[in-house]
Amino acid sequence: MDFLKQLGIKEKNMGASTGRQWLGSEAGDAVTIISPVDGKPIAGVVPATVEEYERVAAAAHQGFLKWRQVPAPQRGEVVRKIGNRLRDYKEPLGKLVSYEMGKSVQEGYGEVQEMIDICDFAVGQSRQLYGFTMHSERASHRLYDQYHPLGVVGVISAFNFPVAVWSWNAMIGTVCGDSILWKPSSKVPLTAIAVMNIIGEVMEEENLPEGVFSMVIGKGATVGDRLVNDRRLPLVSITGSTVVGREAAQKIAGRFGRAILELGGNNAIIVTANADLKLAIPATVFGAVGTAGQRCTTTRRLIVHESLYDRVTSSLVKAYQGLRIGSPMDEANHVGPLIDRAAVEDFVRALGRAEEEGGVILTGGQVLEGAGYESGCYVRPAIVEAKNEFSIVQEETFAPILYLIRYAGPVENAIAIQNDVVQGLSSAIFTSDLREAEAFLSCRGSDCGLANVNIGTSGAEIGGAFGGEKETGGGRESGSDAWKAYMRRQTNTINYGMDLPLAQGIKFEI
């Protein structure tokens, strides 16, 4: 395929990079990456060894010691050039994202555009790494705080956004003066290799220190555990399941490191009696079936007022029955494959549990076979009439299953249902009533990190901080003031007088 050649993807690729050189041996055993689109092999990757991890981590640390001394606006200029280079490769990289992961090619292009957008954002941020000046209680004293580069930032990314979430961390961390050590998902390593090839071009042209950007591909037992336990990495950003995040966070905390956790979501849309269904229905469908239900912000629960329940149900069933399911490389299709057959098994298992608990499948739920579905990864998205207290509804199933839940009475009842799960990532309400919208956004409203009015749960912009509460982990990435997590804060006091007054009026004379 032409896009593989354009991105430097070979038949056999090394799984460790210091940014300026690839480590590994052609004699190493390669893992074959299979596309969920057609079940065909794409290319092989030789996983990083323990020794190669140590070389990459050492390079990342040395790279940081040099990179932190570069003025932040100059660091921003490098990020600007990375963004421009990503523009050059947007089409082939977007196609690779789609073919390796399975999301629609339009979503693949959108993911690369998200990388470009965060580069633009980070360039501006490089001139705004601000502190604050406070008035000292002591005469002839100046009191202020400032932010310094933190160190090597580890980024563990998930398969569903194989490049965009890395860029949220990498571009912000880079302008903050950090170096970046990336462990991409082993399910989608080729996109990461392609990105490192693109980054490598800029590193060579700008003569960047080796290790400013680096990467290791491999199993958790080989490189993952070493990364989370590595004291050279003061911060590790983890996108993945709650189970993985909980285990890793304990190890990071054990060495007093920091963690940015972006974990599970069980996102709900509330449709009140005052909702505009012309907005609510398409937003729900895209939120529930986009990326085949494999977004952390996917709409998993729809909480509908009883007065609109039948109308919403019939509209959704009709929309689902019209979905075009097939190769994501065909822009006419709405839904592509799940990432692998294990995900299909999870989909089938979840629907079985829902029925056992009393749920009713209103449409969908089939595993698709035959021409065009040879990979075994295609399913028909399902709508299930359910109750929030079902144990399966309380869990996040990373697949296109939408649980339809009825509520009665005021909006506060729907909010209580929405909040009655352990996850707290994204949420939305559809209403034309100002009081309902404000109640949803108030301190007694949604308990999620993202709360939207008259738009869906999925598709956050990079300008706002992204993240959630409760078992979603509490982390924040991307925009707003999320940059502060990638720096160390320092409070400074300067005495420019001739006396030495103590704070709090304490007297000490010698």
Nearest residue to 209 via CA among 103, 323, 66, 98: 66
Say if residues 171 and 122 touch (Cβ distance below 8 Å): yes
Give yes or no for a contact between 468 and 426, defined as CB atoms under 8 angstroms apart: yes
Amino acid found at 246: R
DSSP β-bridge partners for residue 267: 299
Residue 334's nearest CA partner among 320, 348, 314 is: 320
Contact residues for 289 (Cβ-Cβ < 8 A; gap 6+)? 320, 323, 334, 335, 381, 400
Three-state secondary structure of 315-340: HHHHHHHCCCECCCCCCCCCECCCCC
Catalytic residue among 262, 436, 471, 477: 262
Whether residue 491 contacts residue 502, with contact meaning beta carbons closer than 8 Å, is answered with no
Q: What is the 3-state secondary structure (H, E, C) of 207-237?
A: CCCCCCEEEECCCHHHHHHHHHHCCCCCEEE
User: Which one from 119, 176, 296, 377 is the annotated catalytic residue?
Assistant: 296
Residue labelled with tokens 């980070």: 122
Residue 119 appears among annotated catalytic residues: no
Do the Cβ atoms of 85 and 187 come closer than 8 Å?
no
412 is a catalytic site residue: no
CA–CA separation, 321 and 317 (whole Å):
6
Q: How is residue 397 written in tokens?
A: 């199933």
Contact 198, 190 (CB under 8 A): no
Q: By C-alpha distance, which of 477, 423, 485 is closest to 448? A: 423
Catalytic residues: 262, 296
